[in-house]
Homo-oligomer: A and B are copies of this chain.
Amino acid sequence: METVVVTGVAGFIGSNLADHLLAKGYKVLGLDNFSTGKTKFLESANNHPNFKLIVCDLSDINSFKDSLSGYDCVFHLAANADVRFGLEHPRKDLEQNTLVTFNVLEAMRVNNIKKIVYSSTGSIYGESQIIPTPEDCPMPIQTSLYAASKISCESMIQAYCEGFEFQSWIFRFVSVLGERYTHGHVIDFYSKLKKNPNKLHVLGNGHQQKSYIYIQDCILGMMMGVEKADNKVNIFNLGTEESIEVLDSIEVIKEFMNVQPEIITQNSIRGWVGDNPLILLDINKIKSLGWMPKLSIKNGIQKTLEWLENNKWFFEDLEK
């Protein structure tokens, strides 16, 4: 595999992955519609001779199908990546995840591209009874439209592997932190505290235990899985071996920002409908290939905050 396509290339994970792949000598075709992606995330990639960018909308297969010709593998990262607001627009996860993934699979099929790497999510485990949750846990009940769309995508990918001799690497991430981080609890709290350093409202009681992974660890884990696993369908959790309470995350943020807000929590174990109060993935399967996350969750949060501090343009864009 030497030539690869990265969908969602201007996003948080996509742009970091593109930089990594280019540094490793791959020829990279990046696709993005810039609905949430940022041109600035591609500053480095755009200067690389092996990078080509096509602005297109994956919901229109004809806008990108022909451009895939000749590539070996697709890293399909483009997605609506928001788990929290699915109920406000129930069609969004279906359209941007399920239907787009089908288009990507069909575009691959007509171009005879057989390898797909897919960014799924630990959210598909719903509120698993088994913690840490392994890849082969009992069939879960879905608790969000986001995760429902991701399991739909996983399932279609698997069916293409069986039916059209594709090979797939499906990675179920916990939330990712680090440079170019674009949404999630760190930015929410950072943003709120920038506006008012004296008071911080928390969704839920703050005792939700979440797990996070640093972006570079995440990318090295994906590359390790792709290089070393060779089944028809290869599924790996990607996370750290720890979880952190929301209130403890806030401590890290307070310390970094040097603020002492009053913390106002709610009397519920979930922050919103579909919020999973306890996330911790079993990562033994990917570890058995020789991978280990290098950064702790605390370090990941700090890296994220440093990036936000050093990239005020992004934060200002967000506030517009």
Contacts and interface: CB of A to CB of B under 8 A. Distances in A.
Contact of A139 (B99, B140, B159): B140
A22 interface: no
The dominant DSSP class at the A interface is helix
Interface in A268-315: 273-274
A155 B159 contact: no
A234 to B, nearest CB: 10
Interface string A62-96: 00000000000000000000000011001100100
Given A138-B138, A138-B139, A155 B151 contact: yes
Interface string A113-151: 000000000000010000000011111111111011101
Interface residues of A, number: 39
A277 to B, nearest CB: 13
A41 interface: no
B137 A162 contact: no
A163 B98 contact: no
A86 B159 contact: yes
B137 A138 contact: yes
A94 B109 CA distance: 16
Copies of this protein, total? 2
Interface string A186-228: 0000000000000000000000000000000000000000000
Given A94-B102, A106-B90, A138-B138, A148 B159 contact: yes
Contacts of A139: 135-140
A53 interface: no
A273 B163 contact: yes
A148 B143 contact: no
A158 interface: yes
A164 interface: yes
A151 B106 CA distance: 20
25 contacts: A90-B102, A90-B106, A90-B109, A91-B106, A98-B152, A126-B158, A137-B138, A137-B139, A138-B138, A139-B140, A141-B162, A141-B233, A142-B154, A142-B158, A143-B159, A143-B162, A144-B162, A144-B163, A145-B159, A148-B158, A151-B151, A152-B155, A162-B273, A162-B274, A163-B274
